[in-house]
Amino acid sequence: MTEPTPGSAGPAPFRNEPLVAELQALRRRTGLSMAALAAKTAYSKSSWERYLNGRAKPPRAAVEALCRTAGEPPQRLIALWQLTAHPEPSVPRAAQPPGPALPDDLETPAGGSTRRRARWTTGMALAVAALLAGIGFAVWPGTRPAPTTAHCHAESCDDRSPASTLCATTSHTLTTFRARTGQEVDIRYSDRCGAVWARLGKSRPGDRIQVIIADSRPKTTRVQDQLDADGYVYTPMAAAGPGTAIRACVSVATHAPQCVSALVRGGL
């Protein structure tokens, strides 16, 4: 992959939290450092740091390479990746003074007729719209999932990732807590999936986040390195429904666990 040259415009910001969270989870599953991951793939350590921090959109081949390294079927992540695969074309900001009206088929200075260009633009717009509509069936909230989408509900969500199952796209925050040591804890719930999990931000390597509900084994995730700390880490999900009491706790090296509780009151 070609790295940006000094002075050139860098990659556009990449905003696809479910995909970034899933890529981070896969990297943790491999147990590889950034340097080791770079050695196993065609992408540099700095490239992986940008992809896994959400600062740049990864190429499709990079997503597939990480899936192969982690032993994960790539279909779910490719469906998520496609949400940002077709950004809107940029529009020049410098306004040009209007010229005289041209006949439909008059050749323009850049070559090609205005009529043919209009047909090409319309065709491209329809093609992109059709593709996005198809992707919507795979990943958009409220639509029927495609066969490759691994949605779940209640017990079938237990211990699974809220990102790879797409439960994160249909979730809301039950409560937010800021620890004395600065970490931010969210208890997240998806009515559609009937599952709950905890999300940790502003953390430090070594911090742990745990979500606990009655009659279920606690779900725990550890912040492994600075890459994790720069973004969010998520616990695996636990089955939950209206009336379920949830407790999330953050543990740091120098303090006792700090906890927050919430109650599921129904879907939104």
Asked whether 120 and 128 are in contact (CB, 8 A), the reply is no
pLDDT at 137: 38
Task: Name the DSSP letter for residue 223.
Answer: -
pLDDT at 15: 66
CA separation for the pair 162, 107 (Å, rounded): 54
pLDDT at 244: 94
Residues 6+ apart with CB under 8 A from 53: 20, 227, 230, 231
CB atoms within 10 A of CB 191: 17
CB atoms within 10 A of CB 102: 11
Asked whether 83 and 58 are in contact (CB, 8 A), the reply is no
Which contiguous run of DSSP H or E holds residue 252?
A: strand 245-252
The dihedral of CA 221, 158, 195, 238: what is its sign?
A: negative
* DSSP string covering 117-181: HHHHHHHHHHHHHHHHHHHHHHHSTTSPPPTT-----GGGGTT--TTTTSGGGG-EEEEEEE-TT
Q: What is the pLDDT of residues 167-180, one digit of tens each?
A: 888 889 999 999 99
β-strands 233-234, 208-213: how paired? unpaired
Domains of the chain: 17-86 (1.10.260.40), 160-263 (2.60.40)
The pLDDT > 90 percentage for the chain reads: 37
pLDDT at 117: 52
pLDDT at 99: 45
Rg (CA), the chain: 23
CA separation for the pair 221, 235 (Å, rounded): 5
Taking 70 as the pLDDT cut, the residues of the chain under it are 1-15, 84-150, 266-268
pLDDT at 32: 85
* Model confidence, pTM: 0.54
